[in-house]
Structure 1
């Protein structure tokens, strides 16, 4: 009889434990309601600290390198002194020859950036993220000095090409570092700091161009003042110098890179500094465990890897090939041909097509820079990690497509707006104002959509062993398309008419919306868990969060107390939440037994 009762008790206990486990597991995997703010409750507040933010700021502001050049050259090509020095003011040249010369000048940095992205395949991993950034700053300063001192278009080409070698590396160094050091819950925000800094650079360049036109005379004693356009280049030296100095003071090397280089003690030390937690804290142990597990597995698989084996892995492994060509590759192609790059580089000319004249084109360009800068950081802080990658892409791309389509229709209906002596009706004037607003809003749409995605995807979805290599390939494609776009647009505006080019851009935006439907949503996932996502077939990637839960160790560290207290007594560390292991059941039974004993003691006392 006793044996039967004990058996029944055991069965009831196991059923009770199983029920408790099921409830526990359901609560962990229960989808959370959408909130208009980041849910930081499951992370210790110490990890969101000034050390992390300063490192993120320095690497993030590196994005201004590319942005400043794009904004700067768009203003310089309309300045009389610059046009005289480069030959753009030569009236003996044909329209096609001038268009070709203009495209060569504007696109030379993009051409150099292709070489820079190739260099970054090795430099980012060889030097480390911090040291590689310091080398880039020196190269950036050298290229700028050559441009400032140039008196011929050939020397200007050389300076812009060298600057491009630096800029091409920034787009690998910045996003890779930011993705590696950021807590998963704010990884999109941190990576968007780099994308947003592109528009900080553009805004700064537009304002510098406009300021130099207002305060530096175009002529001195009847001669064209070449200093006017040279002054617009000097902020590049200031930016590069500040980043170089701050990198020594504020930046901490990526723990992932240190583990990859067999320096585990330094990796733990740096991660501890970045997270403001002791080295033996469960969160640090969990994160190091995640990183180390992936690094060790990849080292074993790629023990004798080299550039040839990296290419082989990319082209022979279906999962990685799909990530390169169908996701990051198409992101670059669709993003660069969606018209945003054309709007940035040729903003002054596009404003003139809408009826703006003289220095007002530079003023409108400065306003465009401010709009893009503000919208880029609003997106970084309130959209990309809150709204999600895909929702941000849909919203931004839809807005961009509508605005570009409106501008194309305006150019079709009111082509005379570009004429200097054009007389517009009241309805045409209102339409012209609408065209100006469309240019501004298209920039807002771009910063919400493709601008963040094109940097973020490449830094998230590739395995650690080829992450910087693959990101460099992606950036080669990025600058290759940007170079082609910069070269092609002046001729597209001639051969297709101005409106034809923008109808083309609107069509690309439409294709982008279709492409975005099949993307996986990676918001909040750890980098280590993303590899599991790509075990799914391509048509199921968009449902990855329901099909492939994030089993990363850091998501098993639970903080049961209120915010502001993260002592060890308030940490629950669940070693496994995917299945009811024997150990887990035993723990629950032991806890039930303890609670039962306590209850009996209380009853006896009563």
Structure 2
């Protein structure tokens, strides 16, 4: 390089795509943080509900002791999973609002659902129906967050750090979990268990975060890709210029706008009809789009039934199952579990997802998760009385193995944060063409919450002894381990690498026959990239030559 200057190395990127330094500016990071905060919606709920439900005051609030043991199990599962039921509807609804009113207004209306639902949950007089209704309405807002935020973040992020930007959303999931766990722990220690404040104060985190996100939305710019899709090209150029911190006529802005317009025009030319029906046809009748739908849906099924999500929801119960006794100790161990997940999410966002790529990070996470699940399953097989025999006291000789199982819960959380939990949002947000992105993401997230509901609803019953209709704790973890292993094999053969690729070039990953895409799609796409780059260079060279000739002719005439 001229003058002996060294090419800068960026440890946060797999590929240096030559972006101007102005692109990585405070406006981009402010938008990333503002929309990433929506990840806290799921995290807060997953972290709060188990601790709140285990509060004696909350149990008195809903007259829990008046029900039989089976009814109590069902009530606990229903209250815990009611947000997931609402989220199924919210994820479907997000497709309509994202494409009709844009990403910014979609954010504002989901915050209102979220606040109203939390208020009903806290403000009724212990009526179980009202508790269900409040959590369902909150779910209508929470369910939209996993569509609106990842789509917006993927659409505004520069290609080289799109994984980092989108994984900020995942990081806030765990920040929400940590805040919720420690709020439960702090209120338990300092307020005791004889007041509504014990569970209402932590639950108010829902209102705080929803209100903060609502206010921040007024300082954000609408997605340029959405604006181009809705025909507002001038506004798209203006917004992209501001987000990139570059003049509207800068080469980088002009090239990005041109690429978005070209890709959208190609999608429109290949359209199978105007309106929602045409978009649905394109989603399922174009083979490359259908394969992407298959990837997104399978990722949701395999990730949710790998068991890590239910460990987050029922962490306090599972730590108790593995030998952690005492209410305060249990809540503290659970809170530390949240910190472990948060650290893993930060490491993944900064040093893995854009550095070693999506696929490697996912496989590393799945491997750690599988090791954890099989160890816990083996421990519970060796000590089958755990969680089955009432008031069972763990023998001194088994305490080391019990501590190992507790450590494996932490390891499973670490692997989940590195792998499935980051990728189920990132891959879904970046795989699809602009015209079908909102619909495809909504479909994937609808299945996400349907599976999360099924998992959250099923796990309390799965943990019951076989004599009571369950499959026992050991059977539950063997099941999780097998599903995790199947997921790893599926990822190896099915998912191509998407790191460092622009949203408009994703189509090149899916040109091969479906059974070759996972193994060879990235290599084939890079070869196609070279051909495209050579054509672009040739066109640029011809354009430069013609402009030079024109200038010479003009000079001669003068």
TM-score (norm 2): 0.90
Number of the residue aligned with 2:436? 466
Number of the residue aligned with 1:64? 40
Q: Distance in 1 between matches of 2:84 and 2:369?
A: 23
Q: Distance in 2 between matches of 1:145 and 1:111?
A: 18
Q: Any conservation in 2 of the 1:105–1:157 contact (CA below 8 Å)?
A: yes
Whether 1:476 and 2:446 are equivalent positions in the alignment is yes
Whether 1:398 and 2:367 are equivalent positions in the alignment is yes
Number of the residue aligned with 1:285? 254
Alignment of 1:369-518 (within 5 A): 369-418=338-387, 422-494=392-464, 495-517=470-492, 518=494
Number of the residue aligned with 1:331? 299
Query: Which residue of the other structure, out of 184, 189, 196, is the alignment partner of 1:209?
Result: 184
Number of the residue aligned with 1:156? 131
Number of the residue aligned with 1:109? 83
Alignment of 1:179-198 (within 5 A): 179-198=154-173
Alpha carbons of structure 1 residues 486 and 264: separation in structure 2 relative to 1, 3 Å:
same
Alpha carbons of structure 1 residues 402 and 187: separation in structure 2 relative to 1, 3 Å:
same
Moved more, 424-433 or 479-488: 424-433
1:216 Cα offset (Å): 1.1
Alpha carbons of structure 1 residues 117 and 586: separation in structure 2 relative to 1, 3 Å:
closer
Q: Distance in 1 between matches of 2:528 and 2:393?
A: 66
Q: Any conservation in 1 of the 2:10–2:16 contact (CA below 8 Å)?
A: no
Give the helix-richer structure, 1 or 2.
2
Query: Which residue of the other structure, out of 501, 509, 524, is the alignment partner of 1:547?
Result: 524
Number of the residue aligned with 1:100? 74
Alpha carbons of structure 1 residues 260 and 233: separation in structure 2 relative to 1, 3 Å:
same
Whether 1:129 and 2:106 are equivalent positions in the alignment is no
Q: Distance in 1 between matches of 2:176 and 2:159?
A: 27
Alpha carbons of structure 1 residues 35 and 135: separation in structure 2 relative to 1, 3 Å:
closer
1:278 Cα offset (Å): 1.0
Equivalent position SS for 1:42: coil
Q: Any conservation in 1 of the 2:263–2:504 contact (CA below 8 Å)?
A: yes
Query: Which residue of the other structure, out of 313, 324, 332, is the alignment partner of 1:345?
Result: 313
Whether 1:232 and 2:209 are equivalent positions in the alignment is no
Number of the residue aligned with 2:62? 86
Moved more, 402-411 or 39-48: 39-48
Query: Which residue of the other structure, out of 306, 312, 316, is the alignment partner of 2:285?
Result: 316
Q: Distance in 1 between matches of 2:537 and 2:462?
A: 63
Q: Any conservation in 1 of the 2:272–2:279 contact (CA below 8 Å)?
A: no
Number of the residue aligned with 1:199? 174
Q: Any conservation in 2 of the 1:184–1:527 contact (CA below 8 Å)?
A: yes
CA RMSD, aligned part only? 2.4
Q: Any conservation in 2 of the 1:529–1:551 contact (CA below 8 Å)?
A: no
- Give ranges in structure 1 of 5+ residues lacking alignment: 1-31, 220-224, 557-574, 592-606
Deviations 1:215-268 (A, max 9, x none): 11322xxxxx2332122211111111111111112x211100111111111111
Q: Distance in 1 between matches of 2:505 and 2:527?
A: 6
Number of the residue aligned with 2:112? 138
Q: Distance in 2 between matches of 1:62 and 1:580?
A: 41
- Give ranges in structure 2 of 5+ residues lacking alignment: 1-6, 465-469, 549-558
Alpha carbons of structure 1 residues 102 and 275: separation in structure 2 relative to 1, 3 Å:
same
Number of the residue aligned with 2:276? 307
Deviations 1:417-443 (A, max 9, x none): 557855444441111111111001100
Alpha carbons of structure 1 residues 41 and 293: separation in structure 2 relative to 1, 3 Å:
closer
Deviations 1:79-107 (A, max 9, x none): 111122234333x50x3322211111111
Deviations 1:470-501 (A, max 9, x none): 10011110000001111111111111101101
Moved more, 313-322 or 336-345: 313-322
1:69 Cα offset (Å): 0.5
Give 1 or 2 for the bigger CA radius of gyration. Answer: 1
Q: Distance in 2 between matches of 1:216 and 1:513?
A: 45
Alpha carbons of structure 1 residues 550 and 114: separation in structure 2 relative to 1, 3 Å:
farther
1:519 Cα offset (Å): 0.8
Equivalent position SS for 1:63: helix
Q: Distance in 1 between matches of 2:234 and 2:527?
A: 27
1:208 Cα offset (Å): 0.7
Q: Any conservation in 1 of the 2:153–2:166 contact (CA below 8 Å)?
A: yes
Equivalent position SS for 2:246: coil
Q: Any conservation in 2 of the 1:526–1:550 contact (CA below 8 Å)?
A: no
Q: Any conservation in 2 of the 1:47–1:274 contact (CA below 8 Å)?
A: yes
Q: Distance in 2 between matches of 1:141 and 1:586?
A: 56
Moved more, 297-306 or 442-451: 297-306
Deviations 1:316-370 (A, max 9, x none): 2222222112x00100000000001110111001000111122211111111111
Number of the residue aligned with 2:238? 269
Number of the residue aligned with 1:8? none
Number of the residue aligned with 2:551? none
Equivalent position SS for 2:146: helix
Query: Which residue of the other structure, out of 503, 508, 522, is the alignment partner of 1:532?
Result: 508
Number of positions where the alignment pairs a residue of Structure 1 with one of Structure 2: 530
Q: Distance in 1 between matches of 2:313 and 2:547?
A: 68
